[in-house]
Chain A
Amino acid sequence: MIVEHLAVARGGVPVLEGLSFRLVGGAALILRGPNGVGKTTLLRTLAGLQPALAGRVSVPGESIAYAAHADGLKAVLTVEENLRFWAAIHGTDSVEAALEAMDLRALRGRLAANLSAGQKRRLGLARLLVTGRSFWLLDEPTVSLDAGSVALFGSVVRAHLAGGGAALMATHIDLGLAEAGVLDLSPFRAKAPAAGGRVGAFDEAFG
């Protein structure tokens, strides 16, 4: 994945600009930065859910798996049914391996409505494994996970990297990935409109 001079906006306001980086198979990159700096916006842009303001993102087609704050679970379906649905949508058949990897075997027949917050999160992360895609975009993946589950997820990510995959994650918790690079987003913060940012064009047109 190659990102060049990317600028992204949230609600029409530019939040990040001039961002360039490169992520290759087997590598992980951790996004850092204060709340509101644009981590989620960047991940949504890379996932193709919103257009970039400027710049270029080159990524092989259909290779991105995005895990947002919301897990996309249906409360009235069981753990296994939820996973089978996403596996069928992505045309893979690795449900058993995903259940095993995220320690969900014992919960397979339980309705998602009856899971704890941490168990729901584990199921949401297990969904990444059934997509069969190589670039993982993770938005705060460890929210509501306990220490044991964080370590478990760290090992899942490491196995994914060892298999040639890559991960870009916004997180403040140490996953135990010593090899992961860190990208601090603060220097790429978009300039305030008063300092000559792009909102100025609006004032020129109507001022």
Chain B
Amino acid sequence: MWALLTRDLRLAMRAGGGFGLGLAFFLLLAVLVPLGVGPEGGVLGAIAPGILWVGALLSCLLSLDRIFALDFEDGSLDLLATSPMPLEAVVAVKALAHWLVTGVPLTVVAPVLGVLLNLPGTGYGWLVLSLMLGTPALSVIGALGAALVVGVKRGGLLLSLLVLPLYVPTLIFGAEVVKRGAAGMEVSVPLLLLSGITLGAVALLPFAAAAAIRVNLR
């Protein structure tokens, strides 16, 4: 498992690996929104939690189809399926690698971009915490979507349509945590729901994704 994780991280870092694609998109969004909305500090601060969460979600979506499509095209997925490693573990490790390459960098730069969007000072801690808890769900749900469309040529559009509705609860509760936190309100309910979605997704979806891959490899 360690070998697969280090290979995927190494592939992401080397030329053409797609590392930084999501990050660049997130950066562009956070720079362009203030220019589009105008310099009203109050308006920007009010929409900042939502914009940051939508940005993180779309950045995650950008690199999803790479999770399995590249391994399918060069035949590695067939060989991994016949290897001693269970396919469920392959899915879990690949989702973890995706999170390390997209979710973690997004979480780290989000506070910096929060400044651009005039996020109230009390919201920064909650922004980092909610992204830390919510982005793993984005990667695992995305891995399920990628497993469903593996083998479909140009499956990116289908993948987005499949995955976006499943992302909605994470988006709602994630943004709610930041919004309430910034306003100095109680955040425990959305925070618990956000964590619950992530834990449920991490526990169950690798099995669903592995089953989908088995069907698609036939």
Contacts and interface: CB of A to CB of B under 8 A. Distances in A.
Nearest to A89: B83
A65 B82 contact: yes
Contacts of B81: 48-49
Q: Which 8 A-B pairs rank lowest in CB-CB distance, beginning with the nearest? A: A70-B75, A88-B3, A72-B76, A76-B14, A72-B75, A50-B218, A72-B79, A85-B7
26 contacts: A47-B78, A48-B82, A49-B81, A49-B82, A51-B218, A62-B84, A65-B82, A66-B78, A66-B79, A68-B75, A70-B74, A72-B74, A72-B75, A74-B7, A74-B11, A76-B14, A76-B15, A76-B17, A77-B11, A77-B14, A85-B3, A85-B7, A88-B2, A89-B84, A90-B84, A91-B84
Interface of A: 47-51, 62, 64-66, 68-77, 81, 84-86, 88-91, 127, 131
A interface secondary structure, majority: loop
B18 to A, nearest CB: 11
A89 B80 contact: yes
Given A68-B78, A72-B74, A89 B4 contact: yes
B10 interface: yes
Contacts of B7: 74, 77, 81, 85
Nearest to A69: B75
Nearest to B217: A49
B214 to A, nearest CB: 9
Nearest to A75: B74
Contacts, number: 70
A38 B73 CA distance: 21
A116 to B, nearest CB: 17
Interface centre among B2, B73, B84 (most CB of A within 10 A): B84
Contacts of B82: 47-49, 64-66
A81 B9 CA distance: 13
Contacts of A62: 84
A90 B83 contact: yes
Nearest to A50: B218
Given A50-B218, A62-B84, A74 B78 contact: no
Find the residue from A51, A65, A76, A131 having the highest chain B CB count within 10 A: A76
